[in-house]
C-alpha cells in the first residue's frame, strides 16, 4: 500500500513564479548559476545553490552555504515572495516540451514506503552528495526540490488528472528554454480522498530521477524521528515532496558516451575488433549522422565518420534485466573488454552527454578533446522498472529525463 498525502505548500506569488522557478541545483555549476540569476533576485537558485550569494572563496559545502540558504528562504517568506497555502492540497504539474505534455500529481510520499522498498530505486547514491542535501533540507527545514516519481498506469488517476486540469490553473508560464509549466490545485476534499485512496491501491512507485534528494529527505526524516522519540508518523518530516507521473507520459532520452582514447588502437582497428566480437559495423559517412533507431544498436563517431553498430544476438541474451540493457552490453563488451574502461564512474577516459545536447555536441567534443563518441538508444521505462523490480541498479548514466522538474514552484516545509 502506497501513501501519498496532500500538503500545505509554500509557493510563490503568482506574479513572481516565472522568476522563482529554477532548474534543479545539480544540473549546473556555481558559476553557471551565478550567470543564471543575474537580474533575478528571487530565483530559487538563491536557496538551492546559496553559495552564489557568498564569496567565490567559500567552499560549496561550507556550513555558511546552508545557513545562507535558510536565511534566503526566510527572507523570501518575509517579503511575500513566497506565501503559505492555507489548505492542504494536492497539485497537478504539467510540462510541455516540443509539443509533448507530461502531467504529474504533486504530493508528499512516505519515507516508510522508501525504507520498505515500495518506492523502488534503480541507482546507487554517493555519500558526499547525500550529506550535502541532508544538511540543506535539515537546516532549511524544507524539501526544496521535488523527487521525480512514476507509477504503472492507473485509469482512475488518469481521469482525475484530466478533470482537474480542465479547471483554471494557479500558475501558467513558459520558461526561458521554451518549456511551458502549468500548475493546478485541488479544492475538493472528495478529490483529495480519491487520489489518496487510488495511490494506496498501487503496489509501488519508482524513482525516475532524484535518488540523492530522496535518500537525503528520508535520512532527515529518520534523524528527526530520533530527535522526537514520541513521533506518531503524521509529522511532516515523515513525508517528502514528490511529483508523480504515469509512466506512459514520460520520455527517457539517450545518455551518450565520449571516449578520450582508443586504448592504443587505431580507429580502423577499434572498428575491426567491434565487428569481430560485438556487432555488425555499417559506415554512415555518406548520409550523415546515425541516431540509433532500435534497441541493441549504437552509433559510433570516430575519425569524423558515423557508423551503425548492431549487437550480435548472442551477446544480448543475458539472464538478468540489468545485463540486457544496451548500456550494460556496451560496458561489458566495448568499454571494458576493448577500451579497458572498467569503472565508468571514476575513469577519466570517459565522459557522458545527455541526449538533450544532440549529436552535434558529440561531434564537437570529438573535434576538441575526445577521439570517439557512442550514441545510445534510449532506455525504456519498462526496462527501468524491470531493473527496479528485480532489486538491481542501473549502470551509471543509463537514463536522461527531459524536461527537468523546476524547483521553487512548490515547497514542502517540515
Separation between Cα atoms, residue 253 and residue 398, nearest integer Å: 9
The predicted pLDDT at position 27 comes to: 84
DSSP 262: -
Reported as type and span, the H/E element at residue 411 is strand 411-413
The predicted pLDDT at position 26 comes to: 86
> What is the DSSP pairing of strand 119-120 with strand 205-209?
parallel
Separation between Cα atoms, residue 45 and residue 157, nearest integer Å: 32
DSSP 384: H
Q: Give me the long-range contacts of 270-273 (CB less than 8 A, separation at least 24).
A: 270/302, 270/338, 270/372, 271/300, 271/302, 271/307, 273/338
**Grid cell listed for 361:** 555536441
The separation between CA 129 and the C-alpha centre of its own chain, rounded to angstroms, equals 14
- Are 395 and 66 in contact by the 8 Å Cβ rule? The answer is no
First to last CA, the chain: 23
The length of the chain is 414
- Are 299 and 307 in contact by the 8 Å Cβ rule? The answer is yes
Q: In the chain, what are the domain boundaries? A: 4-251+402-413, 255-377
Q: HEC string of 5-32?
A: ECECEEEECHHHHHHHCECCHHHCCHHH
- Are 354 and 255 in contact by the 8 Å Cβ rule? The answer is yes
Residue with cell 531493473: 387
CA quadruple 212, 146, 158, 9: dihedral sign: positive
Low-confidence ranges of the chain (pLDDT < 70): 285-287
The separation between CA 104 and the C-alpha centre of its own chain, rounded to angstroms, equals 14
The predicted pLDDT at position 234 comes to: 95
Residue with cell 522568476: 19
C-beta neighbour count of 355 within 10 angstroms: 20
Residue 230: CB partners within 8 Å, gap ≥ 6?
A: none
3 state DSSP class of 279? strand
Record the pTM.
0.90
Separation between Cα atoms, residue 162 and residue 156, nearest integer Å: 10
The predicted pLDDT at position 372 comes to: 98
- Are 52 and 34 in contact by the 8 Å Cβ rule? The answer is yes
Separation between Cα atoms, residue 31 and residue 302, nearest integer Å: 32
DSSP codes joined into one string, 122-169: -S---HHHHHHHHHHHHHHTEE-S-EEEEES--HHHHHHHHHHTTS--
Amino acid at each position: 500500500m502506497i501513501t501519498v498525502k496532500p500538503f500545505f505548500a509554500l509557493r510563490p506569488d503568482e506574479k513572481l513564479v516565472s522568476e522563482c522557478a529554477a532548474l534543479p541545483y545539480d544540473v549546473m555549476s556555481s558559476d553557471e548559476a551565478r550567470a543564471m540569476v543575474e537580474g533575478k533576485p528571487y530565483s530559487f537558485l538563491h536557496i538551492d545553490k546559496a553559495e552564489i550569494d557568498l564569496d567565490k572563496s567559500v567552499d560549496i559545502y561550507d556550513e555558511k552555504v546552508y545557513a545562507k540558504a535558510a536565511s534566503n528562504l526566510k527572507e523570501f517568506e518575509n517579503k511575500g515572495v513566497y506565501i503559505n497555502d492555507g489548505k492542504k492540497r494536492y497539485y497537478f504539474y504539467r510540462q510541455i516540451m516540443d509539443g509533448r505534455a507530461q502531467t504529474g500529481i504533486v504530493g508528499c510520499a512516505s519515507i516508510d514506503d522508501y525504507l520498505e522498498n515500495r518506492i523502488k530505486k534503480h541507482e546507487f547514491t554517493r555519500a558526499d552528495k547525500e550529506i550535502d542535501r541532508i544538511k540543506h533540507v535539515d537546516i532549511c527545514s524544507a524539501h526544496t526540490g521535488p523527487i521525480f516519481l512514476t507509477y504503472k498506469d492507473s485509469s482512475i488517476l488518469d481521469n482525475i488528472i484530466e478533470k482537474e486540469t480542465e479547471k483554471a490553473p494557479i500558475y501558467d508560464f513558459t520558461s526561458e528554454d521554451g518549456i511551458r509549466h502549468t500548475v493546478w490545485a485541488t479544492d475538493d476534499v472528495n478529490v483529495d480522498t480519491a487520489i489518496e485512496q487510488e495511490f494506496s491501491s498501487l503496489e509501488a512507485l519508482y524513482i525516475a530521477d532524484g535518488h540523492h534528494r530522496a535518500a537525503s529527505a528520508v535520512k532527515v526524516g529518520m534523524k528527526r524521528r530520533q530527535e522526537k522519540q514520541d513521533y506518531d508518523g503524521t509529522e511532516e518530516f515523515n513525508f517528502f515532496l514528490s511529483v508523480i507521473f504515469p509512466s506512459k507520459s514520460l520520455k527517457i532520452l539517450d545518455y551518450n558516451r565520449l571516449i578520450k582514447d582508443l586504448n592504443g588502437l587505431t580507429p580502423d582497428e577499434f572498428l575491426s575488433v567491434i565487428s569481430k566480437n560485438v556487432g555488425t559495423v555499417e559506415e554512415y559517412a555518406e548520409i550523415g549522422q546515425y541516431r540509433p533507431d532500435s534497441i541493441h544498436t549504437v552509433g559510433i563517431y570516430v575519425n569524423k565518420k558515423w557508423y551503425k553498430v548492431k549487437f550480435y544476438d548472442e551477446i544480448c541474451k543475458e539472464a538478468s534485466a540489468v545485463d540486457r540493457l544496451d548500456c550494460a552490453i556496451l560496458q561489458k563488451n566495448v568499454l571494458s573488454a576493448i577500451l579497458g574502461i572498467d569503472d565508468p564512474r571514476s575513469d577519466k577516459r570517459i565522459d557522458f552527454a545527455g541526449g538533450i545536447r544532440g549529436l552535434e555536441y558529440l561531434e564537437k567534443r570529438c573535434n576538441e578533446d575526445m577521439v570517439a563518441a557512442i550514441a545510445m538508444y534510449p532506455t525504456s521505462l519498462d526496462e527501468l522498472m524491470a531493473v527496479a523490480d528485480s532489486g538491481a541498479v542501473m549502470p551509471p548514466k543509463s537514463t536522461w529525463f527531459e524536461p527537468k522538474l523546476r524547483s521553487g514552484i512548490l515547497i514542502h516545509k517540515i
